[in-house]
Amino acid sequence: MAEKEITSRQSPSVKRYVRLAGSRRARYEERLFVTEGAKLTGEAFAAGYFPVELFAAEEAFESAFDTLSPIALAAETFCRITPAVADKLAQSVSPQGVFGVFRMLDNGTQPVKISSNGKFLLLSSLQDPGNLGTILRTAAAFGVGGVLLSDDCPDLYSPKVLRASMGGVFRVPAAVTDDLGGWIDALKAAGVPVWAAALRRDAKTLREVSLGEGGCAVVIGNEGGGLADGVIGRCTGSLVIPMEPGSESLNAAMAAGVFLWEMYR
């Protein structure tokens, strides 16, 4: 560990953090992402992500000393920062004075392993980072075997996704793929039924199909447009959550949550 003090909002470390927080491209060029707050920073470290840089204002460091001191020791650089620098780094409404820069894992977070009795969630062209974060938080809580994302979903490592996931992104195996259809085929080949969450004439309802026994996978589509026909056609069948007349749909994160709960309950 190297230790330094940063008092200038123009320091290269500060500029890099801001760039990584704001740009997906910058994150993937450097293969780094950022965390804000002692809790999220601690979760990234606990999940095995390598801390490149830890920034902490004095008071913030002391008040989360047990979480942060091992990270400070492990980090390439530990930067003590002033409140003015903390303000510059902060993305959240109530900044806490702790910020991390971590090295990404390849192609997602923890690796997803296909098994015949595993539970999987597939996300196709999801749009909203808040929805993705909420889904990852819920997937972690309900212990799914893996989340598979098409590569046009929001970035797993964007600050909004990390924040909404409450660290769930570090606890759940998740992989980003440019071939979601290939994963669907691989799951089916392993004996895992793959259900498209889509309203089709021949769709079964969640009252008829039990997701609790054995392996299963559910594919959730885009918030506005749902799932593409090509994706639906590749699945074992379609599955809908029954609803009252007059209601057409649930929020995408909510629908995912109901499926995840059914897998877990």
For a copy of itself, the binding residues (CB under 8 A) are 130, 134, 137-138, 140-143, 164, 166, 168, 171, 206-207, 241-244, 246-251, 253-254, 257-258, 261, 264-265
In angstroms, give the least distance from the CB of 257 to a copy of itself: 5
Looking at the Cβ atoms of 37 and 168, the one nearer to a copy of itself is 168
| Token output for 67 | 């979480």
Is residue 78 left, alpha or beta, with left meaning phi > 0 and alpha meaning psi from -120 to 50?
beta
Looking at the Cβ atoms of 13 and 41, the one nearer to a copy of itself is 41
Looking at the Cβ atoms of 53 and 128, the one nearer to a copy of itself is 128
Looking at the Cβ atoms of 13 and 125, the one nearer to a copy of itself is 125
In angstroms, give the least distance from the CB of 226 to a copy of itself: 14
3 state SS of 156? coil
| Token output for 62 | 């002391």
In angstroms, give the least distance from the CB of 260 to a copy of itself: 9
In angstroms, give the least distance from the CB of 171 to a copy of itself: 6
- Which residue bears the tokens 């749902």? 226
List of residues 6+ apart from 252 with CB closer than 8 A? 126, 128, 131, 135, 220, 221, 222, 223
Looking at the Cβ atoms of 202 and 248, the one nearer to a copy of itself is 248
- For 12, 127, 213, 261, the CA distances from 142, given in Å and listed in that order, are 41, 22, 15, 7
Asked if 44 contacts 100 with a C-beta cutoff of 8 angstroms, the reply is: yes
In angstroms, give the least distance from the CB of 199 to a copy of itself: 13
